[in-house]
Amino acid sequence: MLDSTRTTTALLDGLHDEANAEVWELFDRRYRPIVIGFAKRLGLSDVDAADVAQETLTRFLTEHRDNKYNRERGRLRSWLVGIARSRIAQMRRKRATKREWRGESAFVDLSDDATLTQAWNAERRLAMLREALTALRDSSKTSEKTIEAFEMLMVQQQPAPAVAEALGMSTHDVYLAKNRVATKLRDILANLNRAYDEEA
């Protein structure tokens, strides 16, 4: 997990150095998937969500370097959500004008802070889980099939019998794989949770 455990505070401090591309890359790698997932949960397409993430992170970087982001006035999450919410609202207005908006997700209330927080936290957990699984693959002798069984069962939410059939395992072995991987992920996730701490 090279640099993965660097805290959000350390990242934010490093972002002030315009020559430090490594810090920006790590910040981007950590938060871009969260912003994309967040935007998709609020009804955006893959393409629009990617645009929102690009604009959100770029604008945050500019405002942070201009000392507009004040850690004492709120969490990093609140700042990023605020930027993303504004951009999503603009896209909704544009789509509504062109009558391109479809689906129930169009009715997600962007002023409902509880819903937005819930969406952000869900994507944050997924991002940490993906990073933890990558670290587990890179740093342990756990078999790929065992990790894949966990991912199919816990991340993709497939039923255990379907996972067993797809991987040529018994249902019992699928649950054993889940428990083995969950145990090994516990410490990795604890470290990542500290790194992703957005109180900064």
User: What's the pLDDT score for residue 104?
Assistant: 43
**Measured distance CA(158)–CA(124) in Å, rounded:** 21
Domain-embedded: residue 3: no
Structural domain containing residue 174:
8-195
**Measured distance CA(31)–CA(52) in Å, rounded:** 12
- Among 189, 172, 181, smallest CA distance to 147 is for 181
Domain-embedded: residue 1: no
Domain-embedded: residue 68: yes
Domain-embedded: residue 53: yes
User: What's the pLDDT score for residue 12?
Assistant: 85
Q: Which two tokens stand for residue 37?
A: 């997932």
Domain-embedded: residue 23: yes
pTM of the model: 0.80
Model pLDDT for residues 15-42, shown as the tens digit of each residue: 888 888 888 898 999 999 999 999 999 8
- How many independent structural domains does the chain possess? 1
User: What's the pLDDT score for residue 137?
Assistant: 93
* Per-residue tens of pLDDT for the chain, all 200 residues: 435 667 788 888 888 888 888 888 989 999 999 999 999 998 888 999 999 999 999 999 998 888 888 776 667 888 899 999 999 988 888 777 766 555 544 456 777 888 899 999 999 999 999 989 999 999 889 999 999 999 999 989 999 999 999 999 999 999 999 999 999 999 899 888 877 776 54
Domain-embedded: residue 2: no
User: What's the pLDDT score for residue 176?
Assistant: 97
User: What's the pLDDT score for residue 99?
Assistant: 60
Domain-embedded: residue 112: yes
Strands (E), the chain: none
User: What's the pLDDT score for residue 1?
Assistant: 40
Asked if 198 contacts 30 with a C-beta cutoff of 8 angstroms, the reply is no
How many Cβ atoms from other residues are within 10 Å of residue 150's Cβ? 24
Domain-embedded: residue 31: yes
> Residue 20 phi/psi, 5° resolution?
-90, 80
User: What's the pLDDT score for residue 200?
Assistant: 41
